[in-house]
Each structure stands twice: as C-alpha cells, then as structure tokens.
C-alpha cells in the first residue's frame, strides 16, 4: 500500500525552539513534587525558622541588645547571623533533599529508564545537570530564598543598618555559598542514588551519613578531640563557609580543612556518577 494512503505527510520544520534536554529533565522534576500536598506542607514548615528569625529581628530592634543576647545572636542581621540561620536549616535540608533526590537516579535504574534517556541525543552532563538542578532548587527553597526574604525584611524595618550589606553583600555571600553547597550536595546525593535501585535504601544511606556524622561529631567534641570534628558532613560546609561570611570557625578544625573534605566528597561523587551511569543500559 502506498504510504500516502496512510496519511503520510512530509516533515516540516517548526518555528518553535526546542528546550535543552537538561532543562526538560529539571522542569519535570521540579514540578512533580509540588503537586503533593504533603510536600507543600513540608516546604511551609521549613520556612518557619525564617518566620521565627524575622519576629526575633523585629523585637530585637524594640528591646535592644537584651533579646539578641538571650537569643544567642541568632537574631543578628550581620553576615554571621545569616550564616547561623543557614546552619539552623540543616534538618529541613536533610529531610527535603532525601525525599526529592533519593529516587532521581535509583528509579531510572530500577525501571531501565537510562536506556530510554540515552537513546535520545542526551549526554551524561545534561542528564546529571538536569537532575542536579532539581535538588538545588529545593535546597534553595529552604536556604537561599528565605535568606533573601530575611535580608529584604531586615532592611525594611531597619534601613539604618545599611542597604549595601542587607541588599547586596549578604545576599551575594549567601548566593555564592548556597550555589556551591547545593551543587556539591546534589552531586553527592545523586551518587548515592546511582548506587541503588530503591529509594528507601538511598534514604537510609543518606540518613546514616547526615545523622551518623553529626552524632560522631558530638561524641568527639565531648571527648575534646577537636581535630576529629571534621567528620561532621554538613558541618564542614558551614565551617568552610565561615570564611565567606567573615565569621568565626564553626568547628575545632580550620575552614580550609573543611573545604578540602568537601572537595574530596564532591570529587568522589563525580567519579561514582561517571562509573555508574552508562550511556547504554541492558534491558532485562
């Protein structure tokens, strides 16, 4: 039967520009969790520390230095005060990233989705990049975006504090810190996800890494072994970021030692991703 009898039409170029592959992956991965009511509740709950800090900042201006002393400096609107806020977001970061990132690659491996992805003109960098943007977006959602809001709020109620710091320098420091930290955490979490086929196991590994290193950090600090505090996984990011925020060290090791540990974790994650994600997967 001639092909024209089946409704064959010649291909015609479309004037619409195709989106990059990494953006298609990222856009779908970002939009899907937002359809869940429980995820929205979790995100709103993750913003509660920012609301509390905003209230404390407001009343600090009314009560003077007394409230700032009672709050341990957490209501401070200088650069170190905002670093303390980012430190306080460890638990939301731990929970939210575990839910979002655990199955990003594990589910593709379980369902042989990698063969479908790489049957298209898609490279490893675009695939990992799109997945990383998903994790980074939700990391920003509970760290960087609340920081922006707090800086703007602080300026509106205390313009005498200086527009240069609250509207430019502190947001810039927070942006650099969150971009670098979010990129590193996304690669590490994706590396965990690429090692398994079940999201629940990836969540367990992630929980052991975060909570286990935090517990060990408290133990070695109690024993006075300050040099061993470098085992604190998330603590290394904030300790390294102390240089960027011109703040005091957050642990008993230098910020540069923490930065070296972070770089080693990131390099190991990139190596694992390169080994685990293959352009061709055998479909069973």
Considering its fold, how many domains does the chain have in total? 1
Q: What is the rounded CA–CA span in Å between residue 245 and residue 262? A: 17
End-to-end CA distance of the chain: 36
Residue from 43, 23, 24 nearest 33 by CA: 43
Predicted local confidence at residue 170, as pLDDT: 92
Q: Domain range spanning residue 145?
A: 20-276
Report, as ranges of residue numbers, the positions in the chain whose pLDDT lies below 70.
1-18, 61-74, 161, 279-284
Predicted local confidence at residue 279, as pLDDT: 60
Which distant-in-sequence residues (6+ apart) come within 8 Å of 258 by Cβ? 230, 235, 236, 237, 239, 240, 251
The answer to whether residue 281 is domain-embedded is no
The answer to whether residue 197 is domain-embedded is yes
The answer to whether residue 236 is domain-embedded is yes
Distances (CA, A) of 24 to 117, 156, 182, 192, 281: 12, 38, 20, 23, 21
What pTM was computed for the model? 0.87
Predicted local confidence at residue 176, as pLDDT: 96
Identify whether the C-beta of residue 258 lies closer than 8 Å to the C-beta of residue 264: no
Predicted local confidence at residue 255, as pLDDT: 92
The answer to whether residue 1 is domain-embedded is no
């Amino acid at each position: 039967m001639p092909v024209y009898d089946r409704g064959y039409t010649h291909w015609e170029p479309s004037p619409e520009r195709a989106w990059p592959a990494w953006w298609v992956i990222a856009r779908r991965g970002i939009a899907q969790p937002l359809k869940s009511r429980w995820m929205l509740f979790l995100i709103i709950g993750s913003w509660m520390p920012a609301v509390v800090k905003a209230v404390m900042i407001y009343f600090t201006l009314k009560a003077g230095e007394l409230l700032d002393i009672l709050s341990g400096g957490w209501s401070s609107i200088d650069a170190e005060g905002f670093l303390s806020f980012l430190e306080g977001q460890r638990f939301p970061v731990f929970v939210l990233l575990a839910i979002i990132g655990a199955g990003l690659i594990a589910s593709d491996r379980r369902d042989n989705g990698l063969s479908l992805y790489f049957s298209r003109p898609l490279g490893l960098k675009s695939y990992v990049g799109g997945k990383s943007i998903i994790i980074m977006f939700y990391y920003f959602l509970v760290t960087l975006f609340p920081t922006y809001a707090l800086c703007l709020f602080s300026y509106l109620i205390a313009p005498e504090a200086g527009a240069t710091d609250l509207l430019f320098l502190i947001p810039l420091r927070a942006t650099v810190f969150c971009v670098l930290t979010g990129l590193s955490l996304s690669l590490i979490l994706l590396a965990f996800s690429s090692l398994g086929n079940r999201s629940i196991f990836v969540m367990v590994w992630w929980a052991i890494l975060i909570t286990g290193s935090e517990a060990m950090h408290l133990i070695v600090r109690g024993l006075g072994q300050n040099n061993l505090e470098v085992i604190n996984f998330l603590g290394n990011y904030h300790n390294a970021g102390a240089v960027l925020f011109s703040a005091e060290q957050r642990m008993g090791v230098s910020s540069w030692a923490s930065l070296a540990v972070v770089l080693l974790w990131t390099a190991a994650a990139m190596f694992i991703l390169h080994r685990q994600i293959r352009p061709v997967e055998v479909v069973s």
